[in-house]
A and B are shown apart, each in its own frame.
Chain A
Amino acid sequence: MLGNNGKIDGFSGINPIESKEELIKIYPAKVARKRAKHITVYDREEGDPPEIEANVRTVPGIITQRGCSYAGCKGVVLGPTRDIVNITHGPIGCGFYSWLTRRNQTRPPSDESENFITYAFSTDMQEKEIIFGGEKKLKQAIQEAYDIFHPKAISIFATCPVGLIGDDIHAVAREMKEKLGINVFAFSCEGYKGVSQSAGHHIANNQLFKHVIGLKNEKNDAKYKINLLGEYNIGGDAFEIERVLEKCGIELVATFSGNSTYEGFANSHVADLNTVMCHRSINYVAEMMEKKYGIPWTKVNFIGAESSAKSLRKIAAYFDNAELKAKVEKVIEEEMKEVEKVRAEVKAKCEGKTAMLFVGGSRAHHYQDLFTEIGMTTVAAGYEFGHRDDYEGRRVLPTIKVDADSRNIEELEVSADEKLYSPRKTEAEIEKMKSKGIDFKEYEGLMSDMAKNSLVIDDISHYETEKLLEIYKPDIFCAGIKEKYAIQKMGIPCKQLHSYDYGGPYAGFKGAINFYKDIDQMVNTKIWKEIKAPWETEPQLSARYGSE
């Protein structure tokens, strides 16, 4: 039998400090010292979470799961957009690999509506462009995209060679914008910038803020208007969140960027509250919108039924309207009926099992709520590309050292807009709400929700993953397709939390039900009884790290 037969002794009996040493002992001394800073054990009784090293360059030769700046910009933030033609400027690889591989969904209003999500445009640079420059080809590609689709907007994404050969993509964008009379803007998201996808998120945020947000100024008379930031509609998550918000009577002006529209981005500054899902990838936009337009932001989480309910209540409390509050309570009550039914069934079978989450810059945190709801404990977690604030909370922001890799990413200077700045709440109102428990500009980070003595590992390597499984033997490991088959070869189910194993949605109430059922199926399927995990044929391994 796999796992721990429903007990968590495999967890409580393992010494996390020893495990940490085991993970890094193979490395050359210098590398081991570096990696040690990325691995922490959090004993919550000792106060604030310990400092963790994050958002620094991966040591060469460590097989990381991280991607690049281009992936974060083109793939993550702009990938879900359907009515902007996204052109990759570079040789063919990057454009090909980011061709709908994140499985973003979108729902255009009709079959005739613009939807470019299935297209992968690339300038397909050849050697002669590397030598003589690619601006001419890029201009022609923009013209071609325009001629075929006549879109509202075209965006350009730089790959590694572009910055190196000195193509001025921003000048090309300006020229073509003038010529075509549509919005054309570019992202200098060359893959070598920053240390991971995270740099690309920041670059994407900056350019959306500079070139799109605030362009339109259409009055919106809805009473409760919000934006949802950092939701990318993997597996239809955005559809479920939209359903719930609509049912509550809350108007979603724009989502960045699941099931989004260009017009939505352009008019997003009319919303009265920014709600942030993935803090890592989108907090820059939230911060900048607050400064320029006076829209406060608050952290929400629609992953997990309880968390969804909490997030809805928070939004209702912000608008402070009795009718809305009552409506939200009614919706929660209705939705929770089915949730509770399935949850009880699944919990009976999953209670006491253990999970590990190594994914993203927010998912490793958010999904812990879903596991908690069915009685499972997350014994180790970490991000691929999170920063210290995503682990330890935003309170550490002033103490984060900015290294050369991060310094190269532009920080926009933002000030209040002369015409459009209008603080949605006075400072006194904000303070009053804070005293009632509504937080603004706050994120507690992943560690605050972790169990005592759990392991937190930043940018876990492929090697460490395998070691960790060997020591802890969790009942399920959540990661992505790159880790999936190695994990499953060791007899442990792997839940893909980037693409949901082609399932989902997992957000909101219906999503929670889907998740409970999928996890039940994965940890309780018969297939794991058919096979023996490596440590079952090599008992000395489990004896060594057992409860001694």
Chain B
Amino acid sequence: MEKKTFVSTRNACKLCAPFGSTLVFKGIEGALPFIHGSQGCATYIRRYMISHFREPVDIASSSLGESATIFGGRKNLSAGLKNVMKQYNPKMIGIATNCLSETIGENIEQYIKEFQSNDKAYSKIPLVGVSAPSYKGTHQTGFHEAVRSVVKTLVKRKGERKKLLSILPGFVSCEDLRHLKEILEDFGLDYTLLPDYSETLDGVFWNEYRKIPEGGTPIRRIKEMGMSKAVIELGKSLLKSESAGSWLSKEFDIPYYNLPLPIGIQESDRFFKTLEKVKGFPMPEKYKKERGRLLDAYIDGHKYLFGKKAVIYGDEDFVASMASFVSEIGVIPVLCASGEDRLKETLKTLIDPKIMDQIEVLPSSDFMEIAEKAEVLKPDVFIGSSKGYFMARKMKVPLMRAGFPIHDRMGGQRMLHLGYKGTQMLFDRLVNIFIEVKQETSPVGYSYI
């Protein structure tokens, strides 16, 4: 790893922990996210989440003020929870701490226990607390910590093993979640997908009022996760600590599969093979065809792609799987960058060592570092979120928007990345970017390319 020149972060390539935590709570049926701390964070996070999903997002807050920084926020939390229960009638409240409450040393677990034992009337609604200060890790940390807290709080019973698959997809798009569900249903698997914000953050037009949008993982199903036959958890970056999946596996002795995000043929194969193993029979014809079509397209499009250079940035797991995919089609991921700190280790879990040699890896980086490096490497394309727009515009290099956040185009939440089908869509978009460049720069202006 190169020595980091700057101590400050200039145009960050990461968001804060409570963002990730509240997103997880949005993916649980009837749940309401709640931030214990200063109210500005709830507002900023709502504002930001909405700019990508273009859906209502309600996040409550205990609105701690100056006096609470001295006397603690116990009273505010209790009043806030009661108030929100009355207005929203939630089935669960997910409480994330933030920089303020963590710095003054609030113990959320303790407060929850006290709250639930003080007033029986309020003890029926499950409360899940997660410690999410922004000074520890990124939005991904907050996301995975919240999934882990949900599982550790709600999964209690140990019963007879069921033919149930628990799947923890990580931070993927709404369309990705829908596609995962489609695949699991086509396999005939009984599954629990946690979290599932595919409806809550990409819903239909309402014909009745919804204080909390429909959809999300049913709490009843989460409780049963301890009886699963297998746990699949996406994201190799999770190796660094105990995750929801590894905890479930250890606690309830369940076979555990930790896989990269299934983008590209290699990783989609790995994902589908795992499903075959769990289910005990081969993948449905539909997916064989999707795979076949994808391979066929790789062949048809290879001449436009070979030797092209891509800069990929974003969350570690997204970058790693995207790099694996572009390597399959002859595009060199010359620069892989993330605001997270273990990108190299994550990449190594799925990228061939020969390809690793061609990649410059920038962990813990920001967009100014990425841009400076890109100026030297002169990529043909940027792949990542809307946040790369400034550098792409400055360098006049096309940007293929993918991942999160996408707030300068419609449909970021409906973008498919996963499986053969998601890869097909990414492949077609990427090839067309190069075809367009070729067409635009051709003196002839060919219309057959």
Contact = CB atoms under 8 A, between A and B. Distances in A.
B69 A192 contact: yes
A422 interface: no
Interface stretch (B96-104, B220-228, B259-267, B294-302): B96-104
Interface string A530-547: 011010011000000000
Nearest to B367: A120
Contact of B209 (A98, A123, A408, A470): A470
A537 to B, nearest CB: 5
Given A57-B63, A60-B76, A192-B68, A534 B99 contact: no
Interface string A202-227: 00000000000000000000000000
A122 B11 CA distance: 8
Interface in A140-191: 140-141, 144-145, 159-161, 163-165, 191
A58 to B, nearest CB: 5
Contact of A61 (B14, B60, B135): B60
B52 to A, nearest CB: 11
B72 interface: no
Interface of A: 26-28, 31, 57-71, 87, 90-99, 101, 118-127, 129-130, 137, 140-141, 144-145, 159-161, 163-165, 191-195, 404-405, 408, 462-463, 466, 470, 480-482, 484-486, 489-491, 531-532, 534, 537-538
B113 interface: no
A191 B47 contact: no
Contact of A534 (B12, B47, B50, B209): B209
Contacts of A63: 42, 58-61, 84
Given A60-B63, A61-B87, A126-B135, A534 B38 contact: no
User: Of residues B37, B42, B43, B63, which shows the largest number of chain A Cβ atoms within 10 Å of its Cβ?
Assistant: B43
A34 B50 CA distance: 29
B40 interface: yes
Contacts of B207: 532, 534, 537
B134 A91 contact: yes
Contacts of B60: 60-63
Contacts of A59: 63, 79-80, 83
A122 B68 contact: no
A121 B8 CA distance: 7
B23 interface: no
Given A137-B7, A485-B50, A485-B56, A164 B40 contact: no
A409 B65 CA distance: 13
B97 to A, nearest CB: 12
Nearest to B37: A160
B304 interface: no
B interface, how many residues as a size bin? 35 or more
Given A67-B40, A92-B12, A122-B9, A486 B104 contact: no
B65 A101 contact: no
Contact of B104 (A96, A164, A463, A480): A164
23 contacts: A58-B39, A61-B60, A62-B83, A68-B43, A87-B8, A91-B99, A94-B40, A96-B12, A120-B10, A124-B9, A130-B103, A137-B8, A140-B7, A160-B37, A161-B99, A191-B40, A193-B66, A194-B65, A404-B66, A404-B67, A408-B66, A482-B57, A489-B56
Nearest to A136: B7
Contact of B84 (A61, A130, A538): A61
B208 A537 contact: yes
Contacts of A490: 206, 209
Interface string B12-50: 101111110000000000000010011111111111101
Contacts of B39: 58, 64, 66-68, 191
Given A60-B79, A68-B43, A538-B208, A120 B69 contact: no
A31 B87 CA distance: 11
A191 B43 CA distance: 11
Given A27-B86, A92-B12, A405-B65, A60 B77 contact: yes
6 residue pairs, one from A and one from B, having the closest CB atoms: A68-B40, A93-B16, A61-B83, A60-B80, A61-B80, A91-B134
Given A91-B99, A160-B99, A470-B209, 13 more contacts: A28-B82, A61-B79, A61-B81, A63-B58, A71-B44, A91-B134, A98-B44, A125-B135, A127-B135, A191-B38, A192-B38, A405-B65, A482-B50
Interface centre among A68, A466, A534 (most CB of B within 10 A): A68
Contacts of A57: 63, 65
A481 B51 contact: yes
Given A31-B83, A130-B103, A69 B40 contact: yes
Contact of B390 (A68, A118, A404): A118
Nearest to B86: A28
B446 to A, nearest CB: 35
B281 interface: no
B208 A534 contact: yes
Nearest to B87: A463
B54 interface: yes
B269 interface: no
Contacts of B18: 93
Given A27-B83, A61-B79, A61-B82, A123 B11 contact: no
